[in-house]
Amino acid sequence: HLDQTIDIGAQNFIYRSIDDALSKNYKNFVIIMNTFGGYVVHMENIIKKITYAESKGMNVITIVAPLGAHATSAGSYIALASTKIYMAKGTSIGSATPVIGTSDPMVEQKVVNAFAKYMEALAEAKGRNKTAAVEMVTQGKSYTAEEAYRLGLIDGVLNSTTITGAL
């Protein structure tokens, strides 16, 4: 259950969990996500681990749950890197504009453009709606589960508001 900031602890948790699942030859790995985001370096490392797991034949499934949970900022990138994304009713995904520690508008635009293309590449690789994904970065958009499904960002809306019901 990834119910925390995307930091070194989250990265280590995902690394250990995926390694354990791979050692047991599991074909599916589920991330129950509720995060407002976190650090880019740890987000990228988690995405690399997801890509590695998929290269070994494992499906990585992100479920945003329970009611009120978020896949915000770094969490939305991780979700879009997953094989499948499901969201419980009453959850959201998005608001993925990077937070920049500069007042230089050229630097800020450069970083936003880079992250927009990163999000677009993740969406494209998984056959998801690139425009809606990019707008999470460039416009800070967030989507409810139903909106994300209608827009083709996720694979389904779960008819549950609890983690147990989502599984």
- Find the catalytic residue in 24, 48, 56, 73: 73
Q: Which amino acid is at 167?
A: L
Helix (H, G, I), strand (E, B) or coil at 84: strand
Residue whose pair of structure tokens reads 């995902």 in the numeric block: 14
Helix (H, G, I), strand (E, B) or coil at 70: strand
Q: Please, what's the b/e burial string for 121-145 (b: 16 or more CB within 10 A of its CB; e: otherwise)? A: ebbeebebbbebbbbbbeeebbbbb
Structure tokens belonging to residue 154: 């996720």
Q: Which residues, 6 or more positions from 25, have their beta carbon under 8 angstroms from its beta carbon?
A: none
Q: Which amino acid is at 80?
A: L
Q: Which residues, 6 or more positions from 57, have their beta carbon under 8 angstroms from its beta carbon?
A: 27
Structure tokens belonging to residue 143: 């989507």
- Find the catalytic residue in 48, 56, 110, 117: 110
Asked if 110 is an active-site residue, the reply is yes
Asked if 17 is an active-site residue, the reply is no
- Active site residue ranges: 73, 110
